[in-house]
Amino acid sequence: MDIQIRPANEEDALHLIEHTKIVLNESTYMLTSPEEFNITVEAEEKWIEGYSKPGNLIIVADIDGKIVGSLSFQTSKRKRLSHLGYFGISIQEAYCNKGIGSKLMEYLLEWARTEPGLEKVCLEVFSHNKIAIHLYKKFGFIEEGRKVKFVKFSDTHYEDEIIMYKFVK
């Protein structure tokens, strides 16, 4: 399996939408529920275009022309927070545990180390997403805090959201 990690481009819009729909339907690790995700190709193209600005990054994991994973990073627009940013990552279940998460993280951290002004990379992850938490710890991310009962899946089932960080400079 030849996995290519590359920057996303506007031509990826439809494939990114398809990827996101797959992930939302098979995972409880995303904040958005499948029925809430109603984005047009044009809106996705604008979203991708917005990530082409300095301090932002969107990359995809491409296998034979099929997007099976993605990572997006955005630096804070606020002056006092401009030294940090947050990222989100998604990988289709069929492609988990194949090194794609590590490849996406390696690309992100290499890029972050050279990005002017960026010092701190942050993320938020649901507490039941043990595989992702393991990946982040493997790359040196540290738990910074926790939002207790942040996500409500049903009347009796909640999950915390864990805030993690890593300094890159």
Tens digit of each residue's pLDDT (9 = 90 or more) over 128-169: 999 999 999 999 999 999 999 999 999 999 999 999 999 999
Q: Which residues, 6 or more positions from 47, have their beta carbon under 8 angstroms from its beta carbon?
A: 39
**Domain tally, the chain:** 1
- When the pLDDT of each residue in the chain is averaged and rounded to a whole number, the result is 96
Residue 52 has pLDDT above 90, yes or no: no
Asked if residues 74 and 85 have their Cβ atoms less than 8 Å apart, the reply is yes
* DSSP β-bridge partners for residue 75: 85
Other Cβ atoms within 10 Å of 114 Cβ, number: 9
Return the CATH number at 87.
Answer: 3.40.630.30
Q: What is the DSSP string of 101-146?
A: HHHHHHHHHHHHHHSTT--EEEEEEETT-HHHHHHHHHTT-EEEEE
In a 3-state reduction of DSSP, which class is residue 82?
A: coil
Asked if residues 74 and 86 have their Cβ atoms less than 8 Å apart, the reply is yes
From 22, 30, 34, 24, select the one nearest 126 (Cα to Cα): 30
How many whole angstroms separate alpha carbon 129 and alpha carbon 161? 10
**pLDDT tens digits, residue range 61-86?**
999 999 999 999 999 999 999 999 99
Sorting pLDDT into bands at 50, 70 and 90, what band is 56?
very high
pTM comes to 0.94
What is residue 1's predicted lDDT score, i.e. its pLDDT?
78
User: Domain residues for 65?
Assistant: 3-167
